[in-house]
Amino acid sequence: MQRLILFFAAGSSLVMGIAQAQAQAQAQAQAPVRGAVIGQLLDESGKPLANAEVTARYQSNPGGVSLSRTARTDHHGRYRIEVRQPLGVWTVHATVTLMAEGTPMRVAMTPDNAAPFAGNMGAVRNFRLRFADRTVDDPYGVGGMLVVAAAVGDYTPLDEVTVSLEPVGGGAAIERSLRSTGEGWVVTGLRPQQYQVTARHRGRPMLVSAALTPHRDYDWRSAYVGGFERTSPGIYQMRVEVRSR
């Protein structure tokens, strides 16, 4: 019995020692490094994001000197950027490129701490992939944007229209009311994938088509299936028009 107790105690000490070593290694990995900014990038499920782009930016005012330094994350989602010189205040930003039906979509990542920091002191800045319909810094949020217009000759009030977006590859459907922005009536913060789009006005189904262009006529259907197109740097849109039946 005494040998069993001793063995159990030794085994417990070993487990505790391993746990403490792991905790210490994690703490060291997340400790600020003087003259450098370090951190880790994770996807929505908490898995490391490899080959994502992280940029440290320096801006002096007065003086007008600005520069940036960029790094890529390793297979653990970690990065390190030297920011010791020039002396001053730095900020960090991160993006990841996702594929949506063969189309690359560059998405900004959300920092756990967006505060500027002194480069010579160093900092830890971790990022997470989060889609949001709007943020403090961007009224269009993070992700793709559905832009909805009324068809030519249709006068349905778009503030009374709701749309449903069902992911073609599976997943929970998204149902939203449209909101008015400088881009028109939109739904924002959408993941980069194809969707089946339907629309209703006060509960009544509407017809949906890809937006009219000089090269494309209407094709009215009860649902429209499509993905996002890059309309300008960092902006990805799916444009449709709706009309009453």
Nearest CA among 188, 234, 52, 236 for reference residue 127: 52
Q: How far apart are CA 61 and CA 96, in angstroms?
A: 29
Q: How far apart are CA 26 and CA 47, in angstroms?
A: 16
Helix (H, G, I), strand (E, B) or coil at 191: coil
Helix (H, G, I), strand (E, B) or coil at 131: coil
CATH top class, domain 144-244: mainly beta
**One fold for 33-128 and 144-244:** yes
Domain ranges of the chain: 33-128, 144-244
Q: How far apart are CA 18 and CA 28, in angstroms?
A: 15
What dotted CATH number matches 33-128?
A: 2.60.40.10
Q: How far apart are CA 81 and CA 38, in angstroms?
A: 7
| Region for residue 28 given its phi and psi (left: phi exceeds 0; alpha: psi -120 to 50; beta: otherwise) | alpha
Radius of gyration of the chain (CA): 25
State residue 235's pLDDT score.
Answer: 87
State residue 21's pLDDT score.
Answer: 45
Q: How far apart are CA 88 and CA 226, in angstroms?
A: 46
State residue 106's pLDDT score.
Answer: 87
Nearest CA among 220, 240, 84, 219 for reference residue 164: 240
Say if residues 96 and 124 touch (Cβ distance below 8 Å): no
Burial class (CB in 10 A: 0-12, 13-18, 19+), 41: buried
State residue 20's pLDDT score.
Answer: 57
For the chain, 245 residues long, give each residue's pLDDT as a single digit of tens: 555 454 444 555 554 555 554 444 454 445 568 899 999 999 999 999 999 999 999 987 666 668 999 999 999 999 999 999 998 999 999 999 987 767 788 889 999 999 999 999 999 999 999 998 888 878 888 899 999 999 999 999 999 999 999 999 888 999 999 999 999 999 999 988 899 999 999 999 999 999 999 999 999 999 999 999 888 887 899 999 999 99
State residue 3's pLDDT score.
Answer: 53
Please state whether the peptide bond connecting residue 167 to the residue before it is cis, i.e. omega within 30 degrees of 0.
no
**Can you give the pTM of this predicted structure?**
0.74
**Two tokens at 237?**
């849109």
**Two tokens at 166?**
């069902």
State residue 28's pLDDT score.
Answer: 45
Report the C-alpha dihedral over residues 192, 91, 134, 210, rounded to 10 degrees. -40
Residue 96's alpha-carbon distances to 12, 50, 105, 129, in angstroms, are 42, 9, 8, 8
Secondary structure letter of residue 222 according to DSSP = S
Say if residues 191 and 146 touch (Cβ distance below 8 Å): no
